Amino acid sequence: MLTAGDAWRALEGVPDPEVPVISVVELGIIRAVVVDDAGAVAVTITPTYSGCPAMFEIEKDVRSALLAAGAAAVTVTTVLSPAWTTDWIPESAREKLRAYGIAPPGKADGGALVTLTRARPPVPCPWCGSAATELRSEFGSTACKAIHVCTSCRQPFDEFKAI
């Protein structure tokens, strides 16, 4: 019968639909996995952003991966609390993001309420490593990314926004 460890391993094989280089587990959106005596799995997930359109896709992928791994049944529950933060992404996954061309997130700002101007240093280019980069927009191709451009290698790149 499926164990909780098997379930977690199955989920580690589910890529994030928008950033397929890391898994939904590495992204930190799988909050809990409980397997009951009958082999039914209850998964708790949390969205990265309130309006993340990938949540339905993720739920479907989670369900089919667990069923394929031998789960007797799968229920997926979405919770908002505690709110997802990029601080949950482990160092190993950050390296994968960088290699994929997405600058990994910096430290989330925690309690700081409002900074009307963006004070943090330039984000290093994931392609050439240069610090000579410019922020183009804090809103990118998905809700979780910002757009930068490197003035050294002249490549645009995404940054995983810290939240």
Angle at the Cα of 12 (from 8 to 15), degrees rounded to 5?
Answer: 140
* Token pair of 59 as six digits: 């739920």
Q: What are phi and psi of 85, to 5 degrees?
A: -140, 150
Of 4-12, 37-45, 51-59, 123-131, the segment contacting other proteins by CB under 8 A is 51-59
Choose among 127, 136, 135, 130: nearest CA to 152: 130
Between 84 and 160, whose beta carbon lies closer to other proteins? 84
Distance CA 29, CA 20 (A): 14
Under the binding rule (CB under 8 A), the answer on residue 34 touching other proteins is no
Between 95 and 138, whose beta carbon lies closer to other proteins? 138
Under the binding rule (CB under 8 A), the answer on residue 163 touching other proteins is yes
Which position among 23, 26, 47, 159 is part of the footprint of other proteins (CB under 8 A)? 47
Q: What are phi and psi of 46, to 5 degrees?
A: -135, 140
Distance CA 16, CA 86 (A): 14
Under the binding rule (CB under 8 A), the answer on residue 51 touching other proteins is yes
x-marked contacts with other proteins along 66-95 as a string, rule CB under 8 A: -------------xxxxxxx----------
Under the binding rule (CB under 8 A), the answer on residue 161 touching other proteins is yes
Interacting residues toward other proteins by CB under 8 A: 47, 49-53, 79-85, 109, 113-118, 136-141, 143, 147, 161, 163
